[in-house]
């Protein structure tokens, strides 16, 4: 019970905090979620009377947590400490790449070990979503470059989704595709998780991970994706706040 509460509390604090405080609470939320996944996996393994395997799984997840948390903490520090616009842009770009890398490398490994995954970050630009960075599976068509509201029902729905607080989890796209998907049986992935990236009332885009195997993404992966999207949102919000021009003080006319 403690870990879910810790995750919710840390995420809530991260949503209303700023700067280094936001970074601290975001990483705290990631740690709590990963720890929850550790305990859940250990319990499952122990139920199968495989104590040795459970110990190995715990060690593997702990190593994954260390790989995920440490780079994000380092990059978030650079985002909040950036002194110039150029440094801030560069730090946020690195943060986005790290988030996508972690989503691709850490999700979908426990239920279907043979799955190959792909993760992608789309930035919201006016009434469309533009692909910024992606990594993972290279044996099929790359992720769509953009989604444009009004171009088709599917693209319009995806852009709308990015402005919500919903999380979309599809266990098997071939048999349980959302209504707006077309030709779902011809896609190179079978399951996916999509999470909006938003801070407060501002939508920054969408983070998604997909797998070539059905049923390969878990509830733990869903929680991990939510928190990764929250970390990226914190960095993007910090960038947006520092890029917003301030109103200059009116000058006094010379006599």
pLDDT: which is higher, 26 or 233: 233
The band of 74, judged by pLDDT with boundaries at 50, 70 and 90, is confident
**pLDDT band (50, 70, 90) for residue 246:** very low
Between the two ends of the chain, the Cα-to-Cα distance in Å is 70
- Residues of the chain with pLDDT > 70, as a percent, come to 65
Name 117's Cβ contacts closer than 8 Å, sequence gap at least 6: 104, 107, 108, 136, 137, 209, 210, 211, 212, 216
Least confident of 9-23, 92-106, 118-132: 9-23
For residue 19, give Cα distances in angstroms to 78, 85, 242. Answer: 11, 15, 11
| Stretch 162-168: mean pLDDT | 94
Q: Give CA–CA dist 140/150, Å, rounded.
A: 27
Of 16, 13, 22, which is closest to residue 76 (Cα–Cα)? 22
| Bridge partners (DSSP) listed for residue 193 | 169, 209
Alpha-carbon distance 127 to 241, whole Å?
21
Instruction: Give the pLDDT score at 234.
Output: 93
In this prediction, residue 50 carries a pLDDT of: 44
How confident is the model at residue 133, as a pLDDT?
A: 97
pLDDT value at 243 more than 90 = no
47, with CB counted inside 10 A (0-12, 13-18, 19+), is exposed
The per-residue pLDDT of the chain, averaged, comes to 78
Asked if 224 and 29 count as a contact pair (C-beta separation under 8 A), the reply is no
Closest by Cα among 238, 165, 227 to 26: 227
d(CA 67, CA 101) in angstroms, rounded, equals 11
The CATH number of 2-242 is 3.30.450.40
Give the pair of three-digit tokens for residue 117: 């995954």
Lowest mean pLDDT, pick from 28-42, 63-77, 122-136, 149-163: 28-42
CA distance 173 to 188: 10
Q: Is the pLDDT of residue 86 over 70?
A: yes
Contact between 132 and 162 (Cβ < 8 Å): no
Q: Taking 90 as the threshold, does the pLDDT of residue 211 lie above it?
A: yes
pTM: 0.71
DSSP 123: E
Q: Is the pLDDT of residue 24 over 60?
A: no
């Amino acid at each position: 019970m403690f870990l879910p509460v810790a995750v919710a509390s840390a995420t809530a604090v991260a949503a209303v905090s700023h700067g280094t405080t936001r970074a601290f609470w975001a990483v705290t939320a990631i740690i709590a979620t990963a720890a929850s996944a550790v305990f859940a996996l250990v319990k499952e393994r122990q139920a199968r009377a495989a104590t040795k395997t459970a110990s190995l799984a715990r060690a593997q997840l702990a190593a994954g947590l260390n790989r995920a948390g440490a780079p994000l903490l380092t990059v978030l520090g650079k985002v909040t400490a950036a002194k110039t616009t150029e440094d801030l842009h560069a730090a946020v770009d690195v943060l986005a790449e790290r988030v996508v890398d972690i989503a691709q490398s850490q999700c979908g490994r426990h239920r279907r070990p043979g799955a190959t995954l792909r993760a992608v970050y789309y930035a919201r630009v006016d009434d469309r979503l533009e692909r910024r960075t992606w990594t993972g599976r290279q044996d099929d068509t790359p992720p769509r470059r953009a989604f444009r509201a009004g171009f088709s029902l599917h693209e319009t729905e995806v852009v709308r989704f990015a402005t919500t607080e919903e999380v979309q989890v599809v266990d098997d796209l071939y048999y349980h595709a959302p209504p707006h998907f077309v030709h779902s049986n011809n896609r190179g992935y079978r399951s996916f998780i999509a999470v909006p990236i938003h801070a407060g009332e501002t939508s920054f885009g969408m983070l998604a991970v997909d797998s070539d195997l059905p049923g390969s993404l878990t509830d733990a992966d869903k929680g991990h994706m939510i928190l990764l999207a929250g970390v990226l949102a914190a960095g993007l919000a910090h960038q947006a706040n520092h890029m917003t021009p301030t109103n200059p003080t009116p000058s006094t006319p010379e006599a």
